[in-house]
Structure formats: structure tokens, C-alpha cells
A and B are shown apart, each in its own frame.
Chain A
Amino acid sequence: MADGYTGKVLRVDLTSEKIATEPINREWAKRFIGGKGLGARYLFEELKPGVDPLSSDNVLMIWTGPLVGTMVPLTSRYVVITKSPQTGTFLDSYAGGYFGPELKYAGFDGVIIKGKASKPVYLWIKDGKPEIRDAKNLWGKDNFKTEALIRKETGESHARVASTGPAGEKLSLIAGVTSDLTRNAGRGGGGAVFGSKNLKAIACRGTMGVEVPNIDEFVKMSKEMLLKDVVENPDHAGSITDGTPIIVDMSQNAAILPTRDWSSGEFEGSAEINSDAIKTRVLVRRKACMGCGLACGSWSKARKGMFKGASTEGPEYETIGLSGSNCGIKSIEAIIKFAEECDKLGLDTMSAGSVTAFAMDLYERKILTKKDTGGLDLKFGNEEAFAKMPAMIASREHIGDALADGSKRAARKIGKGAEKLVIESKGSEYPAYDPRGSIGMALAYATSDRGADHNRAWPVAQDAYGSGDPWNPDGKAAICVEDNTRTSVKWSFIFCDFYAVSFKNMAKYYTAVTGAPADEESLRSIGKRVWNLTRAFNAREGFTRKDDNLPERMEKEPLQSGKTKGKAVPRADFEKMLSEYYKLWNWDDQGRPTKQTLQEAGLGDIVGKLPYLK
């Protein structure tokens, strides 16, 4: 059937070393598309509630979608889906590059991995033929070497590799999955799940292609859309000229740029780490993911100074905000080095930056000393010490051992008041938009299904970066609900965040690739279905209102300067937004989908599987 799907799912049991190919669940594919939605449905079905995410009982999945690998722009993505060892929630973590399409060309829409290998292995897939291979020589190697070694060993110079680095092997809960060297499914600790299963990598090479109905029409439509809806779309101007680093100045102006562990929203060194700094000092060339006409990525290289020769793709805004300004680092070159280290070692740059900033804060407060830091003078802004932190975290040496588990767990271990200083929700470190200058972000972070996150709702676009009032709680819940619905659809196709694609055009693509009818309404109901499903997943794991949390400092520690001077997130406003949000979703007062809501969302089949509804 030529409908974008390969129609096949690979099922692997690492304990028994059994591999099987099975048809994709067509009924679920209709109801959930692919990516986030389809993966969530499979996970809900296959994972027992209450399972330790780092035990062999956790289920690890990779999913693509029907458009992945086709010519439709900005859809070359894959998602890692599992139960997060960092947050205990549903986890969907995405990466672009070339791996997702390659998996489809190799014959599979998705891979479902269970069990635990008795020794290090990797999964090799060549044109529909999967194989579990020995990874003795790869264990301990960084992601760059792992890719090179797998290509050498398989003799496939075009093989694409998604691997875990040394950080994931050591079960760091902030370890991501890295593909194409610099593309990361970073958040939530997917790399640790790889590590816990003794799975070093999933590698593939495919020459089978992806088929769609009516290819001539499809090519014509894709060409038109690439030009009109992508390249010439004014919403994409910044992605074409700058990419995400353009946000540094926007955040600085709005005074919401995390600085020195969230103690300020303005950073005096922002001009040293913004998009201009990248363009004038380190940019080598612009870089795209497969099928993308924007090329928001920048291949950058430090040309002088202490970090000369270090290179990375980016650095992206989140990396700059959380490992740059938040660590008091005034050098784009130092951030490049930090990002390069994180990519090699397999650490999420967002969480690694955040825990480094947190450790610097504790060091300045004398809660940590040189004894903890292995002699490093871990003051804010110390570039040399800063650049050594990824290695310390990934190897779990000194304070790195605690930091490797994320700032919430680290704080518990360190004690001495550190617990009160952590900026997280459900254990996931905050992204780089300070809610004290855009209070809707506090709601977005608290209600994100995978823990604090900016890719489930992004109200900051409408206030701090737009014309709305950043401190008025009214209407913020509605923005989040709308964003949740839209992103749930986007992440099910899987579209890139930077494609400002309308529901109408998503429906057009859906029909073009599957041949089945779709419109804005049908896609909206899929979005609502998916968001209710991941919420129900978390509710089944025991999450309730208290887990949709606001860090104490956001409430009690007002910012000090610029537009956010004297501003915090009043607790009453936060609770008001949260109640309104639950109401808009028709959830109970604990934030759990009710029976009626689930039935209306087309999720009647999971009602019986939710203990809280009995």
C-alpha cells in the first residue's frame, strides 16, 4: 500500500534476542497518525504501570510518521518514546537530521525494544533485515566514534546511527540519544534507557525508499508548498537568516534570559553569545535536516582562544540560554566547546547546562566546595571549569555523580537547602524562558506531559515576544490548550517545530500521503486524543495536581532588573491558570482525564485500564 507508511514495525526482545517484524496497527495509525500519537498508544498498551524506567521491563520505542522520508518539507524526524527515567512520565523526545528517513528507507515505521541484553549490543537494520550485533568495541566510546566504528564494521559508509554516549551507559538521567553527530533526542533521559538495556545504538541503512500514492501530484504539491508555505512564509524569516539564536536578543529585551542560575533575566554578556556573535565569529556554514528548505542550523567552529578547533551544530537558543547566560558564560566559543562535549558524551545540553548553572550557584553559596568539584573553581563565568563539566557529569566523577541524575535528585543528595533552589517541573529542568516575565510559561512547564518543556505550549510568543500582557493570568490556559492540541498533531506527523504549518495544510499533506480525507476538525480531534492519552498515561502512573508544580523561587524571588524588575509568579495566579486549564480540558480537579472526556476524545478503549476511574 503506497500511503507513506512502510507498514512494518520491528519488535526486539533483547533478553531472549528474539527479533520479529509485524504489521503496523492500522487502526491505531488512523486514530493517531504516527510519531507521538501512535507511539503513545503503543506505549500505553505495552508498558505495565509503575515499572522502574531503568529496569528491563521498560519499553523503548523509536517512531516515525507517514510523511517522514518523503519530499514534504520539515518532516525528517523521529521520536524516542519510553517512560522517562528522569521524570517518571511519558517521554517523547525528537531529533531531525537523517536518521528518521533512513529507518523508513530500511523498511520500518517504528521499532519496539523490550528486555535487556546480557552484554553490550547494537541493533543493525539493513533493508528490512534486522540483526542484534555485539557492541563490545563500542561500549565506552563517544557518539562520534560510535558512528564511525559502526560504519566501518558494517561497511556502510552511509549508515545512520542513533546512539547513547558514555553518559547513557552510566545511566545519567540527563543523557539523550544522539544521531548524525549533532542531532539529539535530548530530553528526559532516553540515553539512560538505552544504557540500562545494554543497547549502545540503533543503526540503519535503507535503499528501499518510501512510496506515496500519485507520486507526480505529490512531487508537484511538495514543490509548491516548499516555495509558498516554507521558503516564502514570513513566519520563517528568522529561521532562514539566523535560526534559534535569534531568540537570545528577544529574551534579553524581555528580561527573561536565564542568567546565573535564574538570578536575573538580563545578561550583561548577551552580545557575546547571540546570533550576531555566531554569524561574525564562528559560523562555517548553514546546515539543514533532510528535506528542509530553511536550514536553521549553523555549523560553527571556534577559531581562536582556549577552545580553538571545537565545533558544533548550533549552538541553539536553549543551549545558549541554559549553558551560556545561565552559567554566566560570555563566550560563544566556550558554549561551542560545551555543546561539542555534550554531543560526544551524549548529554542533553539543556539539562547539562542547567545542572552546571545549579552547581555553580551552590559553589558560590559555599554549599559546594572544591572538594566536591574535584578542585575546579566553579564560579559563574569560569570558562575553563565550565567546559570540564560535561566530562565530569558523564563519568559521574566528584559532584558529577549527583548532577548526572538531574538537578532535582542532585539537590536531594546535596541537601543543605539546595532543594529549595532547584528550577524544575516533574524533575525536568526548565527551558530558557523565565516565567517571571511570561507567567503563562509557568503553566506550560507545569502541564507538559514530559516534565518542564517549551515544545508543548509556548505562550511567551504571544506576550513577552508579542503584544500580550505577560503577567495577566487570564487567557493563558486557553493558549496552552490550543498549543497542546496543535503540537500533538505536529509531533504525530512528525513536523519540525520551526514549520509554522496550519491545520489546513497539515490536512492537505495527510490526504496527499494517505489518500484518506482530513480537515482541520479531524486533525484537531486527533490532537485532543493524543494529549488526553499522554495525560492519562501519566495519571495511570499516579501523577496528580501536586506534580504540576511551580518552583518556589519563581514565586518568592522576584527578578531584579529591566522589564521584569520586581516580577515573580504569584502563587494565586498560578493556581488560577492551572484550574482554568483543567477545566478547559474537562479534566477532574486533580488534572486527570475523566471517563466522559476520554470517551469524547475517542479513547473509550483505555477507560477500563485506568485505576483512578474505578
Chain B
Amino acid sequence: MSKGLKAEKEKCTGCQLCMLVCSGTHVSKFNPSESRINVEDKFPEPGEFKLNYCLQCDEHPCVESCPVEAIVFDEGLGIYVVDKEKCTACGACVEACPYEGCWLDPSGTYSIKCDLCGGTPQCVEICPKGVLKR
């Protein structure tokens, strides 16, 4: 069973509060492009929201793809997280992930990937429509 976030995307309204709170808590400013979850508005067609975030998938090809072993297992959370210090922003994980689960931060210095806020994901707490679950 994967340990990542789960989403019922049909309920999503595109408010991006998840992105605002994620950036607010991770990088101390409101900056959706630095959020670990990304909600894309796809209108007029297909007329839906696409939610991108790390699923913590069982295969985790991102881990194997990383040439400097920057994606490390967090024993406490039981998930793979990016070690910002080790990451060289080569983008191999971004290529490897089949789910658009990680990406480089806008300044291109490290790979962004959901870390479940250390156990209490802020996006899950804030989502006003109950889209996100841990």
C-alpha cells in the first residue's frame, strides 16, 4: 500500500489553497510554483483539474534514477523524500517519475517532492472540499 497522499480529484474546485499552504509552510512565502502539490486547471477541455503530487508509489523509479542518491528513505514516515543538500537538480527523477510527482523548484536548485509535512500534511488539513487524504 502506497503511503502518499490520496485525492478524489472529481471534488477538486481548483482553489489552490493546498498549494498556498504548502508553499507557506515549506518556503515561508505564498508561492504556488514552489508547492509540493500542483493543481492544474484544464479548461475548457477536458474541463477538469489535474492534481500532481508524489504518490509514494511502490516502484519508486525516481529513487533508482537519482545519480547521487538524494532521494532517501525516511524511516519515521516510511516514505522517500528528497535530501535538498545532496540533490544536484539534474532532473533525472523528474524524467523517471511516471506520475508527474516531482519537479524542479522554479530557481532550478533542487527537486520538489511531497514530504507529507513530516506527518501532518497541511494540504489535507486545509482542503475545504475534502479532496485530499493521507
> Residues of A contacting B43 with CB < 8 Å?
181-182, 299, 313
Contact A292 B15 (CB under 8 A): yes
A98-B41, A284-B47 given; A211·B29 CB < 8 A: yes
* Per-residue A-contact encoding for B35-76, CB less than 8 Å = 1, 0 else: 000001101100110000000000000000000000000000
Contact A180 B41 (CB under 8 A): yes
A180-B41, A219-B21, A284-B47 given; A105·B13 CB < 8 A: no
Contact A105 B16 (CB under 8 A): no
Does chain A have a CB within 8 A of B14?
A: yes
> Residues of B contacting A290 with CB < 8 Å?
15-16, 20
Question: CB < 8 Å: which of A71, A284, A294, A299 contacts B20?
Answer: A71
In the complex, what residue of chain B is closest to A208 when comparing beta carbons?
A: B31
Contact A71 B128 (CB under 8 A): no
Contact A288 B14 (CB under 8 A): yes
State which residues 57-111 of B face A: CB under 8 Å.
106-107
A98-B41, A105-B32 given; A285·B126 CB < 8 A: no
Q: How far is the CA of A294 from the CA of B27 in the complex (A)?
A: 26
Q: How far is the CA of A130 from the CA of B97 in the complex (A)?
A: 34
In the complex, what residue of chain B is closest to A157 when comparing beta carbons?
A: B40
> Residues of B contacting A70 with CB < 8 Å?
20, 30
Contact A219 B106 (CB under 8 A): no
Contact A311 B33 (CB under 8 A): no
A71-B20, A207-B33, A207-B34 given; A295·B47 CB < 8 A: no
Question: CB < 8 Å: which of A71, A226, A285 contacts B47?
Answer: A285
> Residues of B contacting A285 with CB < 8 Å?
10, 13, 47-48
Contact B126 A223 (CB under 8 A): yes
State which residues 224-251 of A face B: CB under 8 Å.
226, 230-231
Does chain B have a CB within 8 A of A510?
A: no
Q: How far is the CA of A295 from the CA of B12 in the complex (A)?
A: 10
> Residues of B contacting A315 with CB < 8 Å?
none
Contact A291 B21 (CB under 8 A): no
Contact A71 B21 (CB under 8 A): yes
Contact A218 B128 (CB under 8 A): no
Does chain B have a CB within 8 A of A254?
A: no
> Residues of A contacting B24 with CB < 8 Å?
71, 215, 218-219
Q: Tell me, rounded to whole Å, the shortest Cβ–Cβ distance linking A53 to chain B.
A: 32
Q: How far is the CA of A144 from the CA of B44 in the complex (A)?
A: 9
> Residues of A contacting B126 with CB < 8 Å?
223, 226
Q: Provide a sorted-by-A list of 26 A–B residue pairs whose CB atoms are within 8 angstroms.
A: A71-B24, A71-B30, A98-B16, A101-B32, A105-B33, A180-B41, A207-B107, A208-B31, A209-B30, A210-B31, A211-B28, A212-B29, A212-B30, A223-B21, A226-B17, A284-B47, A285-B10, A285-B13, A285-B47, A288-B13, A289-B15, A291-B15, A291-B17, A293-B15, A299-B47, A311-B47
Q: Which residues of chain A have a CB within 8 Å of any CB of chain B?
A: 69-71, 73, 98, 101, 105, 144, 158, 180-182, 206-212, 215, 218-219, 223, 226, 230-231, 284-295, 297, 299, 301, 311, 313
